Amino acid sequence: MKNLEEIKGVLMDIDGTVFRGNHLIKGAKEVIEELRTNGKKILFFSNRGNISRRMATDKLMKAGISVEKEEIILSSYVAAQFLRTNYPTKSAWVLGEIGLIEELEEAEVQIAKKPTEADLLVVSLHEHLTYADLNDAFKAVRAGARIIATNSDKSFPAETGEAIDVGGILGAIESATNRRADVVVGKPSHFMVDEAMKQLRLEPEKCVIIGDSLGSDMAMGELFGFTTALVLTGGTNREQAESYSGRLDFILPSIASLCNTDLKEEM
């Protein structure tokens, strides 16, 4: 564990850390500006698989946070890069939204015309999911498609409270087909870490990950050697944090506390 002066890179979750739904969390913009002024490299790092980096860039910019697309790593982007590298000649059926499709098309992943013709099923958050969508995914897997999930989180912090995430959608497919996901690319997987470190050109030991999820952000931090900072503005409350059996270096009321915290003693 290092103090903030020794940290070179910041992997910053978005939902529950910078935003709650579409609402910018108080102090987030100012902390990001201060970190940059102090020479820290910032990477916005999210398991959101239903938006593209372009869409995330637009959201941050509209909130007054300056950002380049290359400073954003999303599970949609990582899934697209994974398919381009590992399945360059295979076709995918998508259970997801336009943001995921945008990333897949940018990576030149072939989109199948019918679910039964797909080599792969890519599953992500779908906030307008229908029975027909689920049934097409079911057909793809029954026809032999491998299941690739952007993430497996059970819920995420929305403006009106916790909302069901990919884990619930993926669970329905796994239960109906008696198949488990072949690959989950999102946090806490090494796929996300590899993309982040490639972009930052730093080792995990030089970085802090700040986020609201014990199961993805903090678990990934512990697994790969990042300093971890949990914020209580998203999916985790203090009672859950204090009963967590894994390593938590810091527990912060919100991201606004990051630059006001000594980050030398464990909280």
Domain ranges across the chain: 4-47+187-260, 76-184
**How high is the pLDDT of residue 157?**
83
Burial 235-254 (b: 16+ CB within 10 A, else e): bbeeeebeebeeebbbbbeb
Give me the pLDDT at residue 6, please: 86
d(CA 245, CA 236): 14
- Annotated catalytic, 58? no
Report the pLDDT value the prediction gives residue 261, as an integer from 0 to 100.
56
pLDDT for 158 equals 82
Is 262 marked within a binding site? no
Q: Do domains 4-47+187-260 and 76-184 have the same CATH topology?
A: yes
Task: Tell me the pLDDT of the chain (267 aa) as tens digits.
Answer: 556 778 999 999 999 999 998 999 999 999 999 999 999 999 999 999 999 999 999 999 999 999 999 999 999 999 999 999 999 999 999 999 999 999 999 999 999 999 999 999 999 999 999 999 999 999 999 999 999 999 999 998 888 888 999 999 999 999 999 999 999 999 999 999 999 999 999 999 999 999 999 999 999 999 999 999 999 999 999 999 999 999 999 999 999 998 765 544 443
Specify the CATH number of the domain 76-184.
3.40.50.1000
114 is in an annotated binding site: no
Among candidate residues 13, 119, 136, 249, the one labeled active-site is: 13
Question: Quick check: is 15 catalytic?
Answer: yes
Say whether 15 counts as a known binding-site residue: yes
Task: Confirm or deny that 187 is annotated as ligand binding.
Answer: yes
CATH 2.40.30.10 is right for the domain spanning 4-47+187-260: no
